[in-house]
Structure 1
Amino acid sequence: MITSTRRVSPDKSEVRIAFSLDDNSDVKDVEDLSQTFPDLEQRLQPVPPCVSLRESVQVYKEHCRMAREFHQVKNEIAVLEDRKRKLLAEMVEDEKVAMEIAHLEEEFRRLTEENRTLVTVHKERAKQLERLCVNNRTRSGGDSNVLSEIC
C-alpha cells in the first residue's frame, strides 16, 4: 500500500492518496469500461477507474450502479407521468359526463313537473267536460249541437 499526502495550495487542506499495487479480485471483475448511460449528461457519466486502485474500482462500480438505478427510476417516472396524463384525461371526461348527467337530471325534473301539471290540467278539463255534458243533456233534451257530438 502506497500513501501520499500533498497540499495543493496553502489555503487548501491536505489531500491524501492511498493505493495498492496488489492484484485484487475487485479489479478482475470491473464492469465493462466502455459502459455509457445515455440518460446521464456527459459530465455525469462514470469515469473509467484506475484499475490498480481498489477504491477507484469500487467508486466506479458504485457510480455504474447508481447510473443504472437512475435510468430505472427515470423510466418509472416516465411511466407514472404517462399514467397521470391518462388519469387526468379520464377525470376531465368524467367531469364532462357528470355535468351532462346533472343537466339531464335537471331536464328530467323539469319535464316531470310539466307532465304532472299537464296531467292535472287534463283531469280538470275532463271533469269540466263531463259536467258540461251532463248539464247539456239535462237542458237540451237531446238537441244536436257541438257539445252533444262531443259527449
Structure 2
Amino acid sequence: MLQPLAPCHDSVESMQVFKQHCQIAEEYNEVRKEIALLEERKKELIAKLDQAEREKVDAAQLAREFEELMEENRTLKLAQSQCVEQLEKLRIQYQKRQGSS
C-alpha cells in the first residue's frame, strides 16, 4: 500500500499536502482494485467468448455431418428401393419359369 511521507507538523501547508497525498493514495488503491476486478471480468468474458466460438464451430460441424448423413440415408433408401424392384422382377421371372416348366 502506498504511504505518503510523514508531514512536518509545524507547517499547515505540509499537513494539507499530507492529507491530499493520503487521499490520492487511497483513491489510487481503489482504482487498482477496480482495475484488477475488471481484468478478471475481462478474462471471464474472453473465456466465455472462446467457449461460444467453439460451440458455434461444433454446431456447424454437427450440421454438416447431419446433412452428409441425411444425403447418405437418401442414397441408401434409393438403392434399397431399386434392390426391392429388382428382386420383385427376379421373383416374377422365376415364377414364370416355374410355371412354364
Q: Aligned equivalents of 1:93 and 1:138: distance in 2?
A: 66
Residue 141 (structure 1) aligns with? 99
Deviations 1:19-70 (A, max 9, x none): xxxxxxxxxxxxxxxxxxx2x3xxxx41222233322222211111110010
Q: How many residues align?
A: 101
Of the candidates 108, 120, 131, which is equivalent to residue 89 of structure 2?
A: 131
Residue 8 (structure 1) aligns with? none
TM-score by length of 2: 0.83
Gaps spanning 5+ residues in structure 2: where?
Answer: none
**Greater Cα radius of gyration, structure 1 or 2:** 1
Aligned alpha-carbon RMSD (Å): 2.0
Q: Percent identity?
A: 42
TM-score by length of 1: 0.59
Residue 35 (structure 2) aligns with? 77
Question: How far 1:142 moved relative to its partner?
Answer: 8.2
Deviations 1:108-147 (A, max 9, x none): 111110001000111111112112212322232187xxxx
Q: Which residues of 2 match residues 2-151 of structure 1 at below 5 A?
A: 38=1, 40=2, 45-141=3-99
SS in 1 for 2:51: helix
Question: How far 1:81 moved relative to its partner?
Answer: 0.9
Q: Of Structure 1 and Structure 2, which has the larger fraction of its residues in helix?
A: 2
SS in 2 for 1:71: helix
Higher RCO by CA contacts (8 Å cutoff, separation 6 or greater): 2
Gaps spanning 5+ residues in structure 1: where?
Answer: 1-37, 144-151
Q: Aligned equivalents of 1:142 and 1:100: distance in 2?
A: 62
